[in-house]
Amino acid sequence: MSFYLATKEIWRNRGRFLLFSLVIALITTLVLFIAALAGGLATANKQFIEKLDADLLVYQENVDLQATSSRLGSAKLRELRRVAGIAEVGPLAFSTSTIVFGDGRQPIDVALIGVEPGKPGDPPRIAGEGLRSKRSKDVIIDQPTAQKSNLNIGDRITIKSIQGTKEEFFSLTVTGITDERQYFFQPSIIVPLSVWDNVRPQPAIESGDKQLISNVIAVKLQNPAEISAMSQMMAASVAGIEIADKATAIQNIPGYSAQQSTLNTQQIFTLLIGVLVLGGFFQIQTLQKVAQIGMLKAIGNDNRTIAIAALLQIIIVTLIGVGIGGAGTMLLALGLPAGIPIIFSGATVAIAIAALLLIGPLGGLVSIRLALKIDPLTAIGLSS
């Protein structure tokens, strides 16, 4: 009976109900795009760290886990290597650089990352070879760099760095291609740490400290389950360091948390607006149907039938809206130019869809409560 009443009313008033579904569709589109944008921006920011084959990251102390402020010398690397329970350590150094082309192609800004070959941080390749030695002028490029620059294994690339006040150019050989590993919104190129130290942008006067400096040390544990205990042990064994797991390290990437919380807030508020809009709509509709619902109850329909009918209508309208919105979003996404940082990941979309499917019933709760309270006596103009 409930299904019959719900579907008949929707069908006979399909224009009106479609409008409600379209409102939900627009909310769906907005929420999905914000979710995809949040995902895309997050990925562009954290991808290198996220994919890092390491359990812990070590920073210089008192730098608030900011990689670019942190300076760790090779002495620290050696000290860490001696701590029991650590499988491997790998220095990581971050800066930016520009790939330039002799044939007039647009230069490409990239994240220039220094690693120690074969140690944590040295990425797996999807094509080609790894970095041959600590001093070889090899470079591994990530997929976005390869796509943007049209470079292949064996090609020579020129990178430009500002050192002092001069533009310096360095020639490197592409030995391998790794999967997508963006860092701080830029595609990445990975070189041996000593090469990185030569080719990175540098101020005119260096400190005079001759040891090889990295920003962060990636640590792989013998037993990854002992992250907490090992963090404490490392902090006790090596002075002047601060240790973070990958999730904490990502949260401390400059701007990452602020950006994600802004986008998440937008998403939550859009959903709340959806709840209120739908709640208002269904409530107005129920208020318009007081006499009709009273009559339906008077002729023998119980509260359960009325409530289920109301809930079914809300669910159907929401499902249609989310369906239209989801399909529309996918079509729009296909038409978007490349380079816009949106990523529709399965989990994010699933959470957004689940939240969207909840806003209808949540918004409709008030109207269902209202419908339940309608007295069948209203059918004969009385009130209890």
Partner 1 sequence: MNTVLRTQDVTKLYGKGSTSIVAVDQVSLQIERGEFVALVGPSGSGKTTMLAMLAALLSPTSGAIFIDGQDLSQMKEKERARFRGQKIGFTFQANNLVPYLSALENVELMLRLNKELDKSGKARARELLVRLGLEERLNNLPNQLSGGQQQRVAIARALVHRPEVVLVDEPTASLDTERAYQVVETFSNLIHEQDRAGIMVTHDLRMTRYVDKVIHMLDGKITNILTDRQQIEILAKTSSFQAAENSGESLPLEFIFHSQPDSLSQPVIAAV
**Residues making contact with partner 1 (CB under 8 A):** 1, 4-5, 8-9, 11-13, 291-292, 294-303, 376-377, 379-382, 384
Q: Secondary structure of the chain: what % helix, strand, coil (to 5)? A: 50, 20, 25
CB of 282 to partner 1, least distance (A): 16
Residue number, 332 or 377, with CB nearest to partner 1? 377
Residue number, 223 or 288, with CB nearest to partner 1? 288
Residue number, 1 or 330, with CB nearest to partner 1? 1
CB of 324 to partner 1, least distance (A): 23
Counting beta carbons within 10 angstroms of the beta carbon of residue 149, is it exposed (0 to 12), middle (13 to 18) or buried (19 or more)? buried
Residue number, 335 or 381, with CB nearest to partner 1? 381
Q: How many CA atoms lie within 13 A of 144 on its CB side?
A: 20
In one letter, which amino acid is 215?
N
CB of 302 to partner 1, least distance (A): 4
Q: Is 129 helix (H, G, I), strand (E, B) or coil?
A: coil
Please tell me the distance from the alpha carbon of residue 262 to that of residue 248, in angstroms, as a whole number. Answer: 18
CA dihedral 105, 108, 112, 116 (to 10 degrees): -50
135 CB-near residues (< 8 Å, 6+ apart): 192, 194, 195
CB of 322 to partner 1, least distance (A): 24
Residue number, 38 or 306, with CB nearest to partner 1? 306
CB of 363 to partner 1, least distance (A): 22
Please tell me the distance from the alpha carbon of residue 67 to that of residue 217, in angstroms, as a whole number. Answer: 10
Residue number, 7 or 96, with CB nearest to partner 1? 7
CB of 24 to partner 1, least distance (A): 21
Please tell me the distance from the alpha carbon of residue 280 to that of residue 228, in angstroms, as a whole number. Answer: 49
Counting beta carbons within 10 angstroms of the beta carbon of residue 235, is it exposed (0 to 12), middle (13 to 18) or buried (19 or more)? middle
Residue number, 298 or 316, with CB nearest to partner 1? 298
Q: Is 127 helix (H, G, I), strand (E, B) or coil?
A: strand
CB of 297 to partner 1, least distance (A): 7
